[in-house]
Structure 1
Amino acid sequence: MQGLEGSRELGVGRPAAARRRLVFEHTVEGLFRFSLRSRLSSQAWNGLKAVGIDLSKPLLPAYSDETWKRALELTVVDLYPLVPREEGWRRLGQEVVNGMVHTVMGRAMVGVARLLGPLRSLRRLNNTLRSADNYVESRLTELSPTACEVWINEVMGQPTYYQGILEACIALAGGQRARVRVVAREGTGARLHVEWEE
């Protein structure tokens, strides 16, 4: 069964611990082909190619989490050399969301988010994150109609990256003046407090 063997290679049907951690093509496309395509230096483009993302060729269906992390690290250094590192990661998180909205999958997700509004969109956050990769998970604790706490299992050592992602997601869903702060780091993950105005 040829198709099944290919699925096993990508980790489908294996326990989560044994699965290869992958970031999907549209996530990479949104950030590098849409959001940042004219803003990175030639050194950064060469750096991306060196870590395994060659934007002069068709994108692969998925990239390893390590490739993605190294690509993000060099992007933060290139784009935001004059701001504190945490702020650079926060801005990059916003860029990922802003680029994703230009992909086929992203456009569909934005339409749904606008219909649902911020709180109901956050209730679907785990599905949203899992559409970008196969390993990041979240849990939501609702605190009020305009506030919640979000736990994310893997933040790559950069919780402010997810701060930026959540800020951009709230804005896309119609929330005003979103405020997200990192409450605590927990192992490889983090808890973030999210609030907004209707």
Structure 2
Amino acid sequence: MGAWSMQGLGETREPGVGRPSATQRRLVFEHTVEGLFRFSLSSRLSAQAWQALRGAGIDLSKPLLPAYSDEAWKRGLEVAVADLYPLLPREEAWRQLGHEVVNGMTHTLMGRAMVGVARLLGPLRMLRRLNNTLRSADNYVEARITELSPTACEVGLNEVLEQPSYYQGFLEACVLLAGGQRVRTQVVSREGRGALLHVEWEE
């Protein structure tokens, strides 16, 4: 995809681990859905939003599926943004949702383990392992990291769901969990379905 032709991005993928093939379904895993909709947002969504989520393919009145299609996940995120942040500018609303998905995942079994590791590693080493975090959430988003300084990186993502500000919030929340302070992010460029983001923090 486009993001992978960006220049200057350091490779962080493990050998043999890549994006889904053309015939492989793009999936978001159960604990990602659980973290956002069962933990982070369960008491804040309206009845209309719960109904819209069912229509999108995420029925929270039933046991969660092992995985959901990326289309269902994207529709679910759009429902949450419209329901929770109707008065915010769209980019800020998606950035807030990026925070929510990380905060929700910290309440899941897998997320609690990841938080412990992130706090031990600190922001920079946590970002070096960003692909591990992304692969635990779904099977199609990948990152390449360029270290600019001990407190700044560029993050190239192959997929941003047409909403790079969502991943701004995601990265901000991850760095905060790892102990970073006063985290700032910026969209540097867009290319294809991906984007290049700048993230910096204070220790």
Q: Please, what TM-score do these two structures have when normalized by structure 2?
A: 0.90
Correspondence list, 1:14-93, <5 A: 16-93=21-98
Q: CA RMSD in A?
A: 1.2
Q: Which runs of 4+ in 1 moved over 3 A?
A: none
Q: Deviations over 1:20-57 (max 9, x none)?
A: 00000000000000000100010000000111111011
CA distance in 1, matches of 2:162, 2:59: 25
Q: Compute the displacement of 1:129 (Å).
A: 0.5
Matching residue of 1:188: 193
Whether 1:150 and 2:155 are equivalent positions in the alignment is yes
Structure with the largest fraction of helix: 1
**Which residues of structure 1 form unaligned runs of 5+?**
1-13
Q: Percent identity?
A: 79
Number of equivalences: 186
Query: Would the aligned equivalents of 2:97 and 2:166 in 1 still touch at CA under 8 Å?
Result: yes
Mapped to 2, the partners of 1:149 and 1:89 lie a distance apart of: 20
Distance 1:175 1:66, change over 3 A: same
Instruction: Tell whether 2:96 aligns with 1:96.
Output: no
Q: Please state how far the C-alpha of 1:15 moved relative to its aligned partner.
A: 6.0
Secondary structure of residue in 1 paired with 2:61: coil
Q: Quote the residue 2:13 is aligned against.
A: none
How far apart in 1 are the matches of 2:20 and 2:80? 32
Larger relative CO (CA 8 A, sep 6+): 1 or 2?
A: 2
SS in 2 for 1:16: coil
CA contact (8 A) 2:172 2:183 kept: yes
